[in-house]
Structure 1
Amino acid sequence: MTEHVRITDEPGGVRLVRLARPEKKNALTGAMYDAMREALEAADRDGSGVGAVVFSGAEGVFTAGNDIADFVARAERSFGEAPSLRFIRQLAVTRTPMVAAVDGLAVGVGTTLTLHCDLVYVAPAATFRMPFVDLGLVPEAASSYLLPRRVGVPKATELLLLGEAYGADEAVRLGLANAVVPADALLEHALAQGAKLAAKPPQALAAARRLIRGDRDAVRAAMDAEAEAFDAALRSEEAQEAFRRFLSRGAAPKGAATKAAQ
């Protein structure tokens, strides 16, 4: 567990997983990934009493993505067992419905995480971005598989290769979010929707969810293919140079969201 992920069980059988590292715009460390994964695993256990999980950020930010220094240090040891990859793989198999409440920055995994959520609600200031290529990396969390099926190949190519940001209204228009909700009501709304899911007949809900989400084997296969490519990219000179520039607080790669990750 880590103080930077606050996990509480709310009324109505909803587990709230709140990212709370505002001084770093909720940038994710290995310990934070482990805490989120453990929260999902625990929610899936029989008798947990948890019928839905809600992800949220803190102080007007969802997450700026990976804490680059922490991520590089861990990935250099063994990317295959990196906490980020273990969390991503858990997203594909979690049986408990997941809801995202996104305000402010949602960079990298902050965006790809939402592709696995059953419901996504966004504040007007929500901004999504997947700058993997700008950092010398490749897409992750099965985004290379899921995103083209959600928004079409041309738009997915634009979002993943150009890495340009899109806002709350565009997320709803593309079908990547359910609704824009005022920031001061966002978390309450997400928790209420999670409670509605938790109150449904569990077997029928689980069966419907499996049908909607489709072939999980294909999602896991995409994650494995991405992980192999990500591992190779991570060791490339392109990525190493991008990380060096970020860690030295020098000029960021063009289009990268490095400032957002600070």
Structure 2
Amino acid sequence: MSKNGVRYNGRINVAIDGPAGAGKSTVARKVAESLGYIYVDTGAMYRAVTLAANRSGIEPHESDRLKELVESIHIRLKPGVEGQTVLLNGEDVTQAIRTRDVTLRVSQVASHEAVRTRLVDIQRELAALKGIVMDGRDIGTQVLPQAELKVFLVASVQVRALRRYQELNENERIPLNQLEEEIAQRDHSDENREISPLTCAKDAVVLDSTELTIDQVVALILDLSRTKLAEAK
């Protein structure tokens, strides 16, 4: 059976977008596990590029050098029992991409057209056969605009800052109000960049996780997924 020219294989694609710290990665991973789908953490891919740039001494504004870099590196996402492993040129960088040095630069690196074009091509290839849960900031609007289910996950700046604070190692922790300012600045940067800004797709379901647990958000998305699966048949 086919729909809109695409053969239906009993699976759909789920796109989960939203600002930094909204819980997208954790929610997307759990949804994928429950559905038996593959989870694709696009944010980790951009973080891997940023880590590679930092290691190579490439500044976020050096477009030409970033273009050369992203065309030469190999990024692989490997699912595992304890979560997703991120490999950069064969090296496990799952922890290294979560440092503050990477966090403070990833939005700038991700704003470059060459970086986004290269990674979006990879992301679309991964989703071609369906059965993908992908999270990011422009999945429903740019990467997978035909995804059967689109969710835009939000939360207050204060709650998102607290979540990030709790994720940081003790030696990386900074005042909570500083984290709130950084997240607000990240929101502004993501929403106003020229290339693929953070935008809620018109047909996305908006979920506010401010007062919800991770499991509650996952349950809501699973219910939406079942509805979309029934519609796709």
What TM-score results when the alignment is normalised by the length of structure 2? 0.33
More strand per residue: 2
Larger RCO (alpha carbons 8 Å, 6+ apart): 2
TM-score w.r.t. length of structure 1: 0.31
